[in-house]
Amino acid sequence: MVDNSSTSPNWDINLPLSQSEEASVAAVRQQKPNAAPLLAASKLSKSFGGVRAVDNAEIQVPQGSITGLIGPNGAGKTTLFNLLSSFIQPDSGQVLFDGEPIQNLQPHQIAQQGMVRTFQVARVLSRMSVMENMLLAAQKQTGENFWNVWLQPRKLRQEERKLQRQAMEVLDSVGLASKAEDYAGALSGGQRKLLEIARVLMTQPKLILLDEPAAGVNPTLINQICEHVVRWNREGMTFLIIEHNMDVIMSLCDRVWVLAEGRNLADGTPTEIQQNNAVLEAYLGQ
């Protein structure tokens, strides 16, 4: 478990959306009728000692969607992410990505197939520069092969320059270009979250799992992160987002899944979830 001091639920559940937010949500939703699941998990269970952290849970993430995963503290959301991305093995159950079972693959193999995740507490390499963090995240570099250094130095330099350009473009798109040479450790909490997202973008994924991208982040940066997510989604990326900040969930997500005590409590549109009594009780009862 992590320090939850920054993750207390912001559960202003009756908060109305502004007209512009409603319009942008409607625009995003119209683009993806009945999309097939890119990620589908069924009957997933995981216990730690006596604690059933995830209990017979299911989730589906349609291709092209922004799907939300919510639930009170300790509901099993991060454990479900860990199971979906193979950071831990399930006691039972199945995970399909793009129609193929992936629960026996290693996290890096899943990343190569196009599913990447960020962590509840951003994991950046503090003693490396922002640019070095980005370059390390890039996959399939020619330089990864030892012999290429000797046999194809020109190709290697070209590849490096290409990656640097790509990294700079991604950093620019998240407003971190001016920090490229700074140590990642010198960034604010919100900027680290942006860097973590920027790093996973270097792998050009199909699906990004974000674990509380808004936690501990100032409101201006939260808005920026949301705008980026909507833009990347329009460009074709699918998202599964854990978040306690309900404004973020309500304004971004097509569909929301609710976990409580490791089990599925509800799933539906943000409006349906907002009006679901069992969901309200689960939050009020914590």
Using the rule CB under 5 A, give the single segment among 22-30, 75-83, 152-160, 278-286 that binds Mg ion.
75-83
The string of DSSP codes covering 48-117 is ETTEEEEEEEEEEEETT-EEEEE-STTSSHHHHHHHHTTSS--SEEEEEETTEE-TTS-HHHHHHHTEEE
Alpha helices in the chain (DSSP H): 19-30, 77-84, 107-113, 130-137, 146-151, 153-173, 189-201, 219-234, 246-252, 270-274, 277-284
Q: Decide which of ligand ATP, Mg ion, none touches 73; Cβ closer than 5 to 8 Å per partner kind.
A: ligand ATP
Give how many residues touch Mg ion by CB under 5 A.
3
CB of 137 to ligand ATP, least distance (A): 24
When the beta carbons of 64 and 72 are compared against ligand ATP, the nearer one is 72
- Could you give the CA distance from residue 279 to residue 198 in angstroms, rounded to a whole number? 33
Closest CA to 41 of 1, 87, 100: 100
When the beta carbons of 37 and 71 are compared against ligand ATP, the nearer one is 71
When the beta carbons of 53 and 250 are compared against Mg ion, the nearer one is 53
CB of 73 to Mg ion, least distance (A): 8
Among 65, 67, 78, 133, binds Mg ion (CB under 5 A): 78
Q: What are the tokens at 281?
A: 């009780």
Does 85 bind Mg ion (CB under 5 A)? Our answer is no
Q: What is the 8-class DSSP label of residue 174?
A: T
When the beta carbons of 73 and 158 are compared against Mg ion, the nearer one is 73
Q: Which residue reads 């962590």 in tokens? A: 119
Closest CA to 136 of 173, 113, 111: 111
Instruction: Tell me the residue nearest to Mg ion as measured from the CB.
Output: 78
Question: Which residue ranges make up the site for ligand ATP (CB under 6 A)?
Answer: 1, 4, 7, 48, 51, 53, 71, 73-79, 120
Using the rule CB under 5 A, give the single segment among 77-85, 169-177, 181-189, 245-253 that binds Mg ion.
77-85
When the beta carbons of 159 and 211 are compared against Mg ion, the nearer one is 211
User: Mask 93-132, x = binds Mg ion (CB under 5 A)?
Assistant: ---------------------------x------------
When the beta carbons of 64 and 71 are compared against Mg ion, the nearer one is 71
- Could you give the CA distance from residue 119 to residue 203 in angstroms, rounded to a whole number? 16
Q: What's the angle, vertex CA 70, arms to CA 67 and CA 74, rounded to 5?
A: 140
CB of 272 to ligand ATP, least distance (A): 21
Q: Decide which of Mg ion, ligand ATP, none touches 4; Cβ closer than 5 to 8 Å per partner kind.
A: ligand ATP
Phi/psi for 259 (5° steps) reads -110, 145
Q: Is the separation of the CB atoms in 124 and 133 below 8 Å?
A: yes
Query: Which parts of this chain interact with Mg ion (CB under 5 A)?
Result: 77-78, 120
